[in-house]
Amino acid sequence: MTNYLLSGMVGIMLFFTVVVAPTVFKVLPVEWSSKYVRNFFPKYYATLGLVTLICIFTEQDSSNKLLLAICAALFTFTLFYLTGKINHAKDSGQNRQFHVLHGASVVINLFQLISFIYLLVISS
């Protein structure tokens, strides 16, 4: 069951990164794309964090559980702390801080994606 959940999360993460995000910023006016992204990301982090928690309980290997727990904690951190800081920096015109914080969220998301792919590869 864990592999099905991980596969779904990898698909969601890749689809958003490769298809949705570039399209939103290319097609919608800035004020609409910003509003969309601010509405989307809390749901994205909450959903993926919840599914990651479920994976912890369906995974048998303890080291894999630890990696999943780290990913779940990072989803929680990003949802409840980092997203608010990113939005505040953007709203306050703190461009440098916005780019640093946004970059951190991208690195975290990339780490999670690579972790999920790693778990899928080692389980096959």
Contact criterion met (CB below 8 Å) for 65 and 59: yes
Supply the DSSP symbol for 28.
S
**Cβ neighbours of 51 (radius 10 Å):** 16
Q: Which residue's structure tokens are 């910003």?
A: 34
Of 15, 21, 26, give the one whose Cα is nearest residue 113: 15
Q: Which residue's structure tokens are 């990696």?
A: 67
Measured distance CA(83)–CA(65) in Å, rounded: 25
Per-residue confidence (pLDDT) for residue 124, from 0 to 100? 80
Domain hosting 21: range is 2-123
Instruction: Give the count of domains, the chain.
Output: 1
Q: Split the chain (124 residues) into runs of 10 and give each run's mean pLDDT.
A: 96 95 92 92 97 97 97 98 97 97 97 98 91
pTM value? 0.93
